[in-house]
């Protein structure tokens, strides 16, 4: 499969997981491209412009990757997803990174917002992974997310 890893990362955490996901997917025989969303301004609602909006057309499968922000999806990824045209026929999955380990601190909500945005564009949703950046949780949650995302396929 041709897989696009479309990522927004402010401080590099999400990008570092995406780099590892790229290696895993390439090891499984996929063609993989990382394409970061770029902005001008601050990553706060209404305070930025998208200066690079990755294309989705080249890919059969896409992983959208973003940090959690303010118990929610980062506003840059939200804005980008809402501006996409149809994702019909695309298999998509989600990766989020977050600092706090409790369940109510935004990870599930961020994934759910990505899912809602992509369903509205008629994507086929395959799955998601959440990486908790807190030192004591990072290695385990990263491994779980990478394992899960790397084995997803449209047939599963």
Question: Taking the alpha carbons of 47, 62, 53, 79 in that order, is the dihedral positive or negative?
Answer: negative
CA dihedral 92, 4, 147, 112 (to 10 degrees): -40
Shortest CA distance to 25 belongs to which of 156, 151, 154, 155?
A: 151
Q: Does 119 bind ligand FMN (CB under 6 A)?
A: no
Q: Which two tokens stand for residue 156?
A: 């599963």
Q: Does 56 bind ligand FMN (CB under 6 A)?
A: no
User: How many CA atoms does the CB half-sphere of 132 hold within 13 Å?
Assistant: 15
Sole window of 24-32, 45-53, 65-73, 140-148 interacting with ligand FMN (rule: CB under 6 A): 65-73
Q: Nearer Cβ to ligand FMN, position 1 or 50?
A: 50
Shortest CA distance to 96 belongs to which of 46, 38, 148?
A: 148
Q: Does 151 bind ligand FMN (CB under 6 A)?
A: no
Count other Cβ atoms within 10 Å, centred on residue 87: 21
Q: Does 100 bind ligand FMN (CB under 6 A)?
A: yes
Q: Does 71 bind ligand FMN (CB under 6 A)?
A: yes
Q: Nearer Cβ to ligand FMN, position 18 or 62?
A: 18
Please, which of residues 22-51 interact with ligand FMN by CB under 6 A?
A: none
Sole window of 86-94, 97-105, 113-121, 141-149 interacting with ligand FMN (rule: CB under 6 A): 97-105
Site residues (vs ligand FMN, CB under 6 A) = 9-15, 67-71, 97-100, 105-106, 133
């Amino acid at each position: 499969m041709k897989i696009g890893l479309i990522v927004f990362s402010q401080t590099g955490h999400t990008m570092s997981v995406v780099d590892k996901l790229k290696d895993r997917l390439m090891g499984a025989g996929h063609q993989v491209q990382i394409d970061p969303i770029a902005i001008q301004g601050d990553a706060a609602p209404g305070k930025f412009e998208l200066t690079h909006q990755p294309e989705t057309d080249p890919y059969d499968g896409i992983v959208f990757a973003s940090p959690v922000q303010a118990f929610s999806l980062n506003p840059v990824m939200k804005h980008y997803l809402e501006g996409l045209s149809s994702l019909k026929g695309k298999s998509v999955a989600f990766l989020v990174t977050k600092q706090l380990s409790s369940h109510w601190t935004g990870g599930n909500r961020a994934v759910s917002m990505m899912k809602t945005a992509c369903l509205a564009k008629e994507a086929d949703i395959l799955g998601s992974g959440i990486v908790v950046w807190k030192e004591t949780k990072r290695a385990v949650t990263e491994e779980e997310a990478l394992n899960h995302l790397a084995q997803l396929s449209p047939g599963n």
